[in-house]
Amino acid sequence: MQPVALVRDVPDSFVDALVMGKRPTIDLARARRQHDVYRELLALRGYEVRVLPADERYPDCPFVEDVAVVLGPAAVATRPGASQRRGEVAMVAAALASLLPLRHIEAPGTLDGGDVLRLGGTLYVGRSSRTNDAGIAQLTRIAANCGLAVTPVPVRGVLHLKSAVAHIDEETLLLAPQCVDPRLFAEFRVIEKAGGEEHVASVLRLGTGELVMTSSAPRTLQRIRDHGWDPTLIDSSEFQAADGGLTCLSVLVERGS
Ligand code: CIR
C-alpha cells in the first residue's frame, strides 16, 4: 500500500511562530514555496500527500511532527509542551485516526514529536524544554504495547532531540555533540554536525532510505557525502527561522512496515 505523508498548510500567522531566540523576519511567500517543494518531493518519492488546512489560531501548525508520533501499529496524539500549540493536535489526530489506532498523551504529561527518534526497536526520547518525565513515562507504556523500548535523552541548546540527532541509516546518525551526549548512542557510527551548523543541518530519512537534507549546511553535507551518501537538498530557510527541521513538516505513515 502507498505510504502516506500528512502535512499542514502554512497560515498567514506563521510569521508569529514560536522561536527560542530573537524574533526573525519570516518571508511568508517564500515559506509557502518551500513547503510546496517539500510536498512535491514527498509525492515524487511515492507518498500520498494529505494536506490539512492551516488554522490561523496556530502559527506553528505546519510543524505537524510535534503533535503526532507513529509507532508502526499505532499512533500517538501528543500533548505539546508549549500550551499555545495544544490546539493543533485535534486535526492531525483525526487524520491519523483514519489510518491507525490512536493513543493519547494526557496531562500532566507533555511530549513533542520532535523529541521522538525511532532507531530500530528503540524510541530515543528527548527530555527537553517541551517533553517532561510524565510524558516520557506515558509514551514508554504505549511503546511497550508496540514492542518498542524507550531511552530518555537529555537535550540542551536546541529545541528537540531531532534538532540534534538525525537518522542516516541503520548504523549511522548525524549528531551535534554539544546538544546530546554521544555516549547514549554508542552502538551507532556518528557523523558530527559541523560547528556552527548545529541548528541548520537537518536530515529527513524517507521510508525508501533516501536522505533529504537542508541546503544551508555545506560543511555538514560534505561530511555526509564523505561517508558515501548523496542527499537530495531542499531549502527550508523560513522554517529553520522558526526553529524547525525537515522532519517536523510531515508525519510519515509507512505502510506494511
Ligand atoms: C516551536 O517552537 O514549537 C516551533 N516554532 C518549531 C517546532 C519545530 N519542530 C520540530 O522540529 N519537530
E runs forming strands in 91-202:
102-104, 116-119, 122-127, 149-154, 165-169, 172-175, 189-192
Given the CA of residue 245, which atom of ligand 1 is nearest to it? Answer: 11
Specify the pTM.
Answer: 0.97
Tens digits of residue pLDDT in 30-77? 999 999 999 999 999 999 999 999 999 999 999 999 999 999 999 999
| pLDDT at site 23 | 83
Report the run of H or E that residue 4 belongs to, with start and end.
Answer: strand 4-8
pLDDT in tens, 191-236: 999 999 988 999 999 999 999 999 999 999 999 999 999 999 999 9
Give SS3 for 81: coil
pLDDT of 255 = 81
Task: Check if 100 has its Cβ closer than 6 Å to any atom of ligand 1.
Answer: no
User: Which atom from ligand 1 is nearest to the alpha carbon of 163?
Assistant: 11
User: Which residue of 61, 66, 84 sits with most ligand 1 atoms within 8 Å of its CB, as the best mutation to test the pocket?
Assistant: 66
Q: Please say if the pLDDT value at position 257 is more than 70.
A: no
CATH of 4-253, one of 3.30.360.10, 3.90.1150.150, 3.40.640.10, 3.75.10.10: 3.75.10.10
256 has pLDDT over 80: no
Q: What is the mean pLDDT of residues 158-183?
A: 96
**Residue pLDDT, tens place only, 100-154:** 999 999 999 999 999 999 999 999 999 999 999 999 999 999 999 999 999 999 9
Cα 184 to averaged position of ligand 1 atoms, centre (Å): 23
- Among 61, 167, 179, 248, which one carries the catalytic annotation? 248
Active site residue 61: no
Centroid of ligand 1 to alpha carbon of 117 (angstroms): 15
Per-residue pLDDT at 140: 98
Q: How far apart are the first and last CA of the chain?
A: 10
